[in-house]
Amino acid sequence: MDLLLSAIGIAPESFHRFLEWTLCEHLVMALANISEIDDYFYQRPDALRVFRDLLTRRTGRTWSQRDLEVLFDRVKLEKMQHFRKPIPYEEYLKLLWQVPLLCVRCGRRPPDVVLHVDHIVPASRGGSSTRNNLQFLCAEDNLRKSNRREVTGPWLDLR
């Protein structure tokens, strides 16, 4: 696979990071859809402990305290954003194949910057999660946009 990626001009390392990020997003979506994690879940005093048990059962692995807390917060944020629809894998991949790997604002590329996937029209304002509404922004430029928490960069250590 690395050979093919290099042949089409994509650094294998950046592809692996990108894939890791989409898989993390997928895990958050999957957890947010567990029936036990309902709208009242985060009001429970023992929410973190119950979350840890659900996560362990669901994934079959033990998570570090840091990753557990990051996932806990990300799923919480996800539950609060009812308007957001998950971005399908094929749309991520289309973006990766079809546009240059650089920030559309400043033109910088990895490894100088970390690229985030950004909704051109924010999902909160009805923007779709399809390729035509997605673009790459560097972390810095993404933070300057107001709806900055909608899509974040890679964030799990997987220690």
- Binding flag, residue 105, Zn ion (CB under 5 A): yes
Stretch that binds Zn ion, among 2-10, 61-69, 78-86, 133-141 (CB under 5 A): 133-141
Burial of 20 (0-12, 13-18, 19+ CB in 10 A): middle
- Binding flag, residue 141, Zn ion (CB under 5 A): yes
Please count the residues of this chain forming the interface with Zn ion, following the rule CB under 5 A: 5
Q: For 94, which DSSP code? A: H
Alpha carbons 53 and 47: distance in angstroms, whole number: 10
> Footprint of Zn ion on residues 23-82 (CB under 5 A)?
none
Determine the residue type at 102: L
Q: Which of 95, 117, 134, 138 binds Zn ion (CB under 5 A)?
A: 138
> Can you tell me which residue has the tokens 């294998």?
12
Q: Which of 31, 55, 103, 117 binds Zn ion (CB under 5 A)?
A: 103
Tokens of 53: 């048990």
- Binding flag, residue 94, Zn ion (CB under 5 A): no
**Site of interaction with Zn ion (CB under 5 A):** 103, 105-106, 138, 141
